[in-house]
Every structure is written in structure tokens, then in C-alpha cells.
Chain A
Amino acid sequence: MKNQLAAIALLIAAPTFAAQRGALDLYNEGVDALRRGELRDAESTLREAAQTNHPSVQPLALYNLGHVRFRQGKETLKGEGNRQQLLDSAEAASAVAQEAIRSSQEALKGGTLEEIIGAYMEARGARKQLRISRDDTTRAMDLQGSALWRWRRSVGDFHSALELDPSNKDAAFNADVVERHIKDLLKSLDKVKEENEALSEERRKLGELMKEMRGKIPKSMQRQSDDEEDDDDEEDEKQPEGQKEEEKQQPPKTGSKQEQRIGGEREVSQDMAKLLKEMLKRRTMQLGDKEDGLRPGETTKFGSKEDGTKGYRPGDEMRKPGQRKGRDW
């Protein structure tokens, strides 16, 4: 009779034991993953453990989930690089832009054609520099926003752990620590945001001035696409999704960096502007020129018949005449 009763009790209690075991196993798996630094696995397993609603496992799972999310935030921030350097370079780009704005305004007030062209080239270089800095700050803002989200979630997890187990003083302490980190991050985010807005505003101003300067340069001295080329950034933003996808599929970094570098160096130089001005009369299409039609180390001109047979490498699409953005005078 006793055995029968024990068997019945075991049958009744078995599902409870199984559920407890499941919750504990998940929790232990999550903690192991956290120790190994596998944060994504740790997060999903600890969430599952918390979701089992096991009263003794849930607060601990939440506590560790708080740790995981704090570390995830820190990992995310590693991608942004040196924050001070980013702000410094943004400020430098801003200073160059201010100078270009001043030159452009002076040239527009009554400068010679040569001065206008010089100011225009300077403005274009500054504007491109602004774009690079703005993109960097935007990226930093994205990363900081993502880290902020994770840290806020981390604070929520620590608070929840404390709510379920008021004796867990470590949870309260950790929540305070993360909150301090959030405060610092918010300060930094504000600074970057401010810088980003200033850069955008300066780019807009420069864009307007460039348009005005372009109006003062005779049409015969401009190429067909000159109207568009100064708005290359806007074009980048407005280009159809299909084209964006196409660019994403290419290995764009080498090509685009190269394009920016060549353009930037050439455009800010006053001497080069003069030289180019002389060339304006005889120039029609410059795409085949050695300066920008060729990739370093290649002898094949891109855009020629030879493309299809030799000299073609992935990434060269970036330089196809139809897609190329930055033409020069």
C-alpha cells in the first residue's frame, strides 16, 4: 500500500520536477555561455530560463540577463572607435567648411571668375569632407543608440531581479552602475548629435552657395552633368533602392574610398583649380584621363573596349561612367 501511494505521489510530482529541471538546465546553459563570452547565446537561453516562470530561477536569470545586456552594449560601443577623435575630426571638417563658406561668400560678392572657380572647388572639397564626418557621426550615433537601448534593458533586468528578490542587493548596485554609464553615454550622444546637426547645416549652406556660384560660371565652361555633380551626396541618398542594393552587393570600400581620396586632393588645391581652368576650353569628357579613369597599378582604361577582356575586377563598377559621381573641372 505504501509503495502504491509513493508511486502515485511520484507520478503527480514528476511534471513539477521536470519543469524545475528544465528551468535550471536553461539557466546553467545561459550562465556557461556568459562565462564563455557568447553573449547572444547567453541572452536567448537566459530569456528562456526567465520565461519558464520558475520562482527561484527567474530572478537569477534576470540578474544574469542584466549582465549580458550590459556587456552587449559595451561590445557595440567598441565598433565606434575613438570618440574624441571622431569629435575632433568633425570639428576640423567644420572649421574647413566655415573657411570655404567665407571664401565662397567673398567670391560671390564680386570676385573674378577665377576666384569663383577656386572658391567653388574649395567648397566642394569641404562639402565632401563634411559628408565623411557626418557619416562617421551618424554611424557613431547609431552605435551609441543601440548600446543605450541595451543598457536601458540591462537596468530594467536588474530592477526586475531586485523586484522579484528584494534581498539581491547586487542587482540594485549593478543597476546604479549601469545608470551612471547611461548618463555618460547620453552626454556623449548629445555632443555627437549636436556635431552631426552642425555638419548637416554647414553642408546645406555650402550646397546653396555652390549652386549660386555655378550660376555665375558660363555654361560653356560647365559639363552637362555639372548641375548634378555637386549634389552627389543628395543623389546618394535619393538613388533608387535597386541601385543601392547593387552597390551593397559590390565590394564598394576600395573603389569609393579611392574615388573620394582622388577627388578630395584634387579639388581643394588652388593650383589644380587653375590648371583645370586652362584645360576647360579643350576638355570634353575626362573619364578616360589617367587621373581618374585608371586604378593604381592598372594599365587598362576603364570604360574602354578592353574592359570586358582584361583589367576588369569586381569593384570596377564603381567607376563606370554612368555611375561615377565626382567629375572635375
Chain B
Amino acid sequence: MRTFIALLILMIVRLHAETGDARFAKGAAAYTSGDFAEAVDQFRRLGEEGNVSAAALHNLGNAEWKVSRPGHAVLAWERAHALDPFNVNTAANLRFARNKAHIEAPTQSWHELYSTWLPTTAWLVAASLALWGGVILLTGPRLLGWRRADWHQGVAALLLALFLLTLPALLGISRRAQLGVVLEDETPLRLTPTREAETLVKLTGGEVARVENERGDYLYVRADGDRAGWVLRKDFARVWQ
């Protein structure tokens, strides 16, 4: 019985992976053959099915750009960049899209920039290992009756220092979670979260803004240049979801 369940789980995992690989290949083939709308569809479904990867998001961004949806393209590239900050192609695409639309890159605080030095998962793993490693090395000898050694304390101090170094990055990650992308061109930035609100200014598709408040169908966002106001949820998407 145990073997059967193990085999079943293995089959499901493999099937899932194969479906993901097949869809990725389909999307890539559609993109290569110039069927960008189909490529967008395949890469999107890949994400919806839970097979999120930096490569798939990068390709989705490229396909969205080709079907003239710069806001959606920037969103996909921003997501890819968040997962894999070392991918030079994604960074180059983001720069290209911003130059094309005359948009400034979002202004970030030092801890937000610091948090981009490593992928998010790497920061989380480093923080967890450093904290728990340090705690175990400090408390282990006493609780488990290990023989005390000098290196225990030395490594524990090193790990706790490492943990302290990850703290600003974790703060930066939580702040970056408020960043989002304007999806459509000419998105009105409203004075109030109402249907007939006065339009303060219009935002360009692909602009990055920070969410500061939420009310009903509206998000209160602040874009570069201290332009703040309400946008409809459907016109804006957070990079981290």
C-alpha cells in the first residue's frame, strides 16, 4: 500500500512537470513562429498552473511586448527580475521598455536595493539557517550535553552576525512587496476612490508605483515624482502576488 501511494505521488509530480515542460515548449515554439498571442496564452497558463519560473516570466514579457501590451510586459519582466535578479536579459528588457516609454526606473530605498543583491529565496534561506544555526550552536551543548568547544561560540557569533546582515534585506523585500506596475496606458490617477473622481494625472502603462492604501475596487498608489492617487485594481498589478 505504501509503495502504491509513493508511486502515485511520483506519477502526479512527473505528470505535472511534464505538462509544465510541454507548455513551456509550446509557448516557446509559438513565440519563435511569430504567434505571439498564442505564446502569451501558453506562458500565462503555465503561471496559472503553478509552474512559475523566471524563464517563463521573461518569455511571457517578451510575448506581451510583441502584442503591444507594454504594461503587462513590464509586469512579467519585473516578476522575472524579482525571481532571478542576475538575469541580464531581463534587466536589459526592462531598461529598453522604460527608455521606449520615457519612464524612470522606480526609486528604491537602500534596503530595497540591498534586497535585490540575492534572490528572495536565498535571503530567506540564509536568514533561517543563520538564525537557527546560531541558536543550535549556542544552546546545543547545554541542552544535548555536547562537549563545549571554542569554535561553537565562534561559529554561532558568525551566524548571528550573518542573520543581522539579512535583516535589512528582509525589510527591503517586505517593502518591495508593495511595488506594482500600471497595466494600461492612460490610466487615470484619481483624487478619490470613486467612479466620477477628478483625474489628477494619467499614468503610462509600465510605470512602477507603490501601494499605500486600499479601499474597495481601488488602490492608493504613489508613482515617481510624488504623484499619488487612486487607481482601479484592474489597472494595476503587484509584482509580488
Q: Flag whether B25 is at the interface (Cβ < 8 A).
A: no
Q: For the side of the interface on A, what is the size category?
A: 10 to 19
Question: Contact: A164 with B198, CB < 8 Å?
Answer: no
Q: Flag whether A160 is at the interface (Cβ < 8 A).
A: yes
Question: Contact: B196 with A160, CB < 8 Å?
Answer: yes
In chain A, positions 56-85 with a C-beta closer than 8 Å to chain B are 58, 62
Question: Contact: B198 with A157, CB < 8 Å?
Answer: yes
Question: Contact: A159 with B195, CB < 8 Å?
Answer: yes
Question: Contact: B195 with A164, CB < 8 Å?
Answer: no
Question: Contact: A53 with B194, CB < 8 Å?
Answer: no
0 or 1 for each of B186-227: is its CB under 8 Å from A? (1 = yes): 000001111111100000000000000100000010000000
Using A47-B191, A62-B192, A164-B192 as known contacts, say yes or no to A53 and B213 having CB atoms under 8 A apart: yes
Partner of A159 from the list B193, B196, B220, B228 (CB cut-off 8 Å) is B196
Q: Is the interface of B mostly helix, strand, loop or mixed?
A: loop
What CA separation (Å) do A58 and B192 show in the bound complex?
A: 8
The tally of residues in B whose CB lies under 8 Å from a CB in A reads 12
Question: Contact: A153 with B191, CB < 8 Å?
Answer: no
Across-interface contacts of B192 in A (CB, < 8 A): 50, 58, 62, 160, 164
Q: 17 A-B pairs, CB-CB below 8 angstroms?
A: A47-B198, A50-B192, A51-B228, A51-B229, A53-B213, A53-B220, A62-B192, A62-B194, A153-B198, A155-B196, A156-B197, A157-B196, A157-B198, A159-B194, A160-B195, A163-B194, A164-B192
**Which 7 pairs of residues, A with B, have the shortest CB-CB distance?**
A160-B194, A156-B196, A163-B194, A159-B196, A160-B192, A160-B196, A160-B197
* Chain B residues near A (Cβ < 8 Å): 191-198, 213, 220, 228-229
- Taking A53-B220, A160-B195, A164-B193 as given, write out 18 further A-B residue pairs in contact, using a Cβ cutoff of 8 Å, ordered by the A residue number: A47-B198, A50-B192, A51-B191, A51-B228, A58-B192, A153-B198, A156-B197, A156-B198, A157-B196, A157-B198, A160-B194, A160-B196, A160-B197, A163-B194, A163-B195, A163-B196, A164-B192, A164-B194
